[in-house]
Amino acid sequence: MALDLEKIAMGVRLILEGMGRDPNEGAVAETPDRVAAAYAEILAGVDQKAEDIVNVFHEVSYDEIVLVKDIPFYSMCEHHLLPFMGLAHVAYLPKGKVVGVSKLARVVELCSRRPQVQERLTSQIADLIMAKLDAKGAGIILEATHTCMTIRGVRKPGSVMVTSAMRGLFKSNLATRTEAINLLTGGRATMA
Ligand SMILES: [Zn+2]
């Protein structure tokens, strides 16, 4: 599916009206198109496919854990259409072929730039890495602050939600799982 920016702009016009503003008045006349353009960027993952991103593999004889920590990500909570953002820690166990590390960050970006909930986002990253990298295991930890929790609702700034998804050997093999979790959680920078 593709983002319908015209529809998003129409919605923003209604929101402006709901706020008691005239969407045609000078100060906000460009706002609907501006918001639509911002959404196009924030939700760029909607129009992307995994195949566009993870397509170059390197054949190597490496079958130990590959891990990238502290990948910043930005997403949008589909319940409130407010941003949530944080850090992703991604580990996988290759089966003879690896991808450039930047691809792992691209996978995180592809999945996060969509209307999401953090739990599904975590699972999607894990499933995509398992499927596209033909991995023996994948382990993902996400730490995020949700503006729908910090600026509204319970208003608890600083609260961090942590989710994890383990697949393959990271789920079934205790030693691999323990090593992955130690690597994923050990000695990382504290999230701002
Ligand atoms: Zn929310």
- Chain centre to alpha carbon of residue 131: 17
Confidence at residue 191, expressed as pLDDT on a 0 to 100 scale: 46
DSSP string covering 157-190, please? TT--EEEEEEEEHHHH-HHHHHHHHHHHHTTPPP
Instruction: Based on the residue annotation, tell me whether 111 is a catalytic residue of this protein.
Output: no
- As residues whose CB is below 5 A from the ion ligand 1, the structure lists 77, 79-80, 148
Provide the phi-psi class of 126: left if phi over 0, else alpha when psi is between -120 and 50, else beta: alpha
| pLDDT tens-digit map of 107-119 | 999 999 999 999 9
Residue of 89, 109, 111, 118 marked catalytic: 118
Ligand 1 centroid to residue 79 C-alpha, Å? 5
Mark out the alpha helices in 55-188 (DSSP H runs). Answer: 101-112, 118-132, 147-150, 169-172, 174-185
What is the CATH T-level fold of the domain 56-185, as seen in this structure?
GTP Cyclohydrolase I, domain 2 (3.30.1130)
In the chain, ranges of CATH 3.30.1130.10 domains:
56-185
Bridge partners, residue 139, by sequence: 91, 166
Contact 67, 184 (CB under 8 A): yes
The torsion defined by the Cα of 90, 96, 102 and 103, in degrees rounded to 10, comes to: -80
Give kind and range of the element (H or E) at residue 87: strand 82-93
Q: Mean pLDDT in the chain?
A: 90
pLDDT above 90 as % of the chain: 65
Ligand 1 centroid to residue 83 C-alpha, Å? 8
Alpha-carbon separation of residue 61 from 64, 94, 98, 141, 153 (angstroms): 9, 9, 9, 26, 50
Ligand 1 centroid to residue 160 C-alpha, Å? 13
Instruction: Based on the residue annotation, tell me whether 79 is a catalytic residue of this protein.
Output: yes
Residue of 30, 58, 79, 119 marked catalytic: 79
Ligand 1 centroid to residue 146 C-alpha, Å? 7
Mean pLDDT calculated for residue range 30-46:
95
Nearest residue to 159 via CA among 167, 168, 150, 151: 150
d(CA 96, CA 168): 15
Instruction: Based on the residue annotation, tell me whether 77 is a catalytic residue of this protein.
Output: yes
CA 130-118-191 angle, 5° bins: 100
pTM of the predicted model, to two decimals? 0.89
Least confident of 49-63, 97-111, 144-158, 178-192: 178-192
Contact 108, 118 (CB under 8 A): no
Instruction: Based on the residue annotation, tell me whether 80 is a catalytic residue of this protein.
Output: yes
